[in-house]
Amino acid sequence: MQRFLLSIVAVLAVACAPADRSDAEADAGGNPYGLRGRVLAEALPMPDVVFTDTDGRAYDLRRETDGYLTLLFFGYTHCPDVCPIHMANIGAVVRTLRPSVAARIKVLFVTTDPARDTPERIRTWLDNFDSSFIGLTGDTAAIATAQRALWLPPSQLGPADSTGNYLVGHAAAVVAFTPDRLARVMYPFGIRQADWAHDLPKLLEIQWSGS
Amino acid sequence: MVRLVMVAVALGVTACGRGGETRGSVDITDVYAAEPVNDESAAVYLDVWNPTDAPDTLVGATTPIAAMAQLHRQVGRGPTMQMETVPAAQVPARGWLRLEPGGMHLMLMTLGPRPVAGDTMDLTLEFRRAGPITVRVPVVTYVEVAERAAVEADARR
């Protein structure tokens, strides 16, 4: 009941004060939905690519993500810093969401290092963050196609050191697709758990104008 | 050339002002390691404050738990995260060297027994002027790494 009252108050406040300061600021920033991520000027369709999941099964991106809020990230399991931080942040937040909300979210990790990232290795790595995360691999061409479709820079292998280890450059942003399979928002590195907690439920609720 | 002369002058001042003492000193703060999520590597983050009038240089690090340590830094800025290995990192005179998520960090390579969150480990940092400095490093989860980075970023805002 208390919650219900609060909702009414909130609605009234918005209705009476259309020029609310935070809304005005959001509009000025080109973000009319009040999201913490960067809303794309133009929504991009889910790449038409078939990857392989960590069970070795074909994973058709468009078919599997229909109706889900999908977070897609390109990275690699030897990644020391950016990749585990993104994955840990998302995992921590998804576990705090209401189960009905969490059930509508899919987190996809696509390796940019298919030579070293076997499906088993990806599975073990992802389980550090959340066992529900979906790990995907494919040939280099398929990975590049998916990156290109999202206007992301292609991943690049760095030089090997004396032990044969090498680093992989890759897009640092997580791409969020709404349930209509359109990429709408990018989350750069530096995005925080509080930002995910703020945006994830909203991404499922927003009525997007145009596409 | 100007820079080289200035360094020489600064070194001279320190040497004289401290009665011939040539070693500098640095303070290590906010040091923590990420609980490894694979068997090969662990990231360490820390801040170095150099209170002296002479720049110093972090030239290496050793720890009993790893075969080697590398310094990684992010190359350029932009949509791509590309890290590269660098041999050393300068600590400016009266300035900070910050090793932090998404930026420069120490990478411990080829781990022995894999540390877990809650452990601590010894890490010896080697500075050109200040010499070796050993610190105790707490191991924390990546979730905590991310939150610490956020708190530090807020504090500097």
What sign does the CA torsion over A157, A160, A166, A169 have?
negative
Q: Does A85 contact B109 at a Cβ distance shorter than 8 Å? A: no
For A143-165, how does the pLDDT look when each residue is reduced to its tens digit (9 = 90+)? 999 999 999 988 888 888 888 88
Q: What is the pLDDT of residue A135?
A: 98
Q: What tokens were used for A190?
A: 């530096």
Residue range B66-76: average pLDDT? 88
Pairing of strands A38-45, A50-53: unpaired
Q: Does residue A181 register a pLDDT over 90?
A: yes
Q: What is the pLDDT of residue B83?
A: 84
Q: Does residue A177 register a pLDDT over 50?
A: yes
The CATH number assigned to the domain with range B23-156 reads: 2.60.40.1890
Nearest to B30 by CA among B11, B47, B6: B47
- The DSSP call for residue B26 is -
C-alpha to C-alpha distances, A102 to A69, A94, A142, nearest whole angstrom:
9, 6, 28
* A172 vs B40, B79, B84: nearest CB: B79
Sheet with A156-157: strands ordered across:
A156-157, A168-171, B80-81
* B37 vs A84, A156, A169: nearest CB: A84
CA B150-A191-A100 angle, 5° bins: 115
Q: What is the pLDDT of residue A21?
A: 37
Question: Percent of chain A, pLDDT > 90?
Answer: 70
Q: What is the pLDDT of residue A210?
A: 63
Please give the residue that has the higher pLDDT: either A23 or A129.
A129
- How far is CA A94 from its chain centroid? 12
Q: Does A158 contact B81 at a Cβ distance shorter than 8 Å? A: no
Indicate the SS3 state at residue B58.
strand
Q: What tokens were used for A23?
A: 């809304």
Q: Which amino acid, A179? A: P
Q: Does B81 contact A153 at a Cβ distance shorter than 8 Å? A: no
CA distance B62 to chain A (A): 17
Are A123 and A89 in contact by the 8 Å Cβ rule? The answer is no
Question: Percent of chain B, pLDDT > 70?
Answer: 82
Lowest-pLDDT range of A29-33, B63-67, B138-142: A29-33
For A186-197, how does the pLDDT look when each residue is reduced to its tens digit (9 = 90+)? 999 989 999 999
Q: What is the pLDDT of residue B153?
A: 75
The pTM is what?
0.82
Q: Does residue A15 register a pLDDT over 60?
A: no
**H or E element at residue A50:** strand A50-53
Alpha helices, H only, A54-135 = 61-64, 82-94, 99-102, 119-126
Q: Does residue A26 register a pLDDT over 70?
A: no
Q: Does residue A47 register a pLDDT over 50?
A: yes
Decide if B79 touches A, using CB distance below 8 A: yes
d(CA A133, CA A90): 10
CA distance A133 to chain B (A): 15
Using CA coordinates, name the residue in chain A closest to B104: A81
Q: What is the pLDDT of residue B74?
A: 83
Nearest to B108 by CA among B56, B72, B59: B72
Q: What tokens were used for A8?
A: 């009414």
Are A183 and A150 in contact by the 8 Å Cβ rule? The answer is yes
Q: Does A163 contact B143 at a Cβ distance shorter than 8 Å? A: no
Share the mean pLDDT of chain B.
83
Q: Does A84 contact B34 at a Cβ distance shorter than 8 Å? A: yes
CA distance B26 to chain A (A): 25
For A108-154, how does the pLDDT look when each residue is reduced to its tens digit (9 = 90+)? 999 999 999 999 999 999 999 999 999 999 999 999 999 999 999 88
Q: Does residue A22 register a pLDDT over 70?
A: no
Q: Does residue B67 register a pLDDT over 70?
A: yes
Spell out which residues of chain A touch residue B111, defining contact as CB-CB under 8 Å.
none
Residue range A6-21: average pLDDT? 35
CA-based R_g, chain B, Å? 17
Residue range B140-146: average pLDDT? 93
Total CB pairs under 8 A between chain A and B: 97
Spell out which residues of chain A touch residue B145, defining contact as CB-CB under 8 Å.
85, 88
d(CA A22, CA A196): 18
Indicate the SS3 state at residue A181.
coil
d(CA B119, CA B64): 13
CA distance B118 to chain A (A): 16
Nearest to B69 by CA among B137, B143, B14: B137
Residue range B31-57: average pLDDT? 95
Residue range A197-202: average pLDDT? 96
Share the mean pLDDT of chain A.
86
Q: What is the pLDDT of residue A17?
A: 32
pLDDT bin (cut points 50, 70, 90) of residue A169 is confident
Decide if B102 touches A, using CB distance below 8 A: yes
Spell out which residues of chain B touch residue A164, defining contact as CB-CB under 8 Å.
none
Residue range A91-108: average pLDDT? 96
d(CA A53, CA A134): 7
**H or E element at residue A4:** helix A2-16
Residue range B94-106: average pLDDT? 94
Q: What is the pLDDT of residue A6?
A: 37
Domains of chain A with bracketed CATH: 34-205 (3.40.30.10)
Q: Does residue B14 register a pLDDT over 70?
A: no
pLDDT bin (cut points 50, 70, 90) of residue B125 is very high
CA distance B57 to chain A (A): 22
Q: What is the pLDDT of residue B75?
A: 81
pLDDT bin (cut points 50, 70, 90) of residue A29 is low
**A50 strand-pairing partners:** A60
Burial A108-137 (b: 16+ CB within 10 A, else e): bbbbbbbeebebebbbbbbebbbeebbbbb
Q: Does residue B34 register a pLDDT over 80?
A: yes
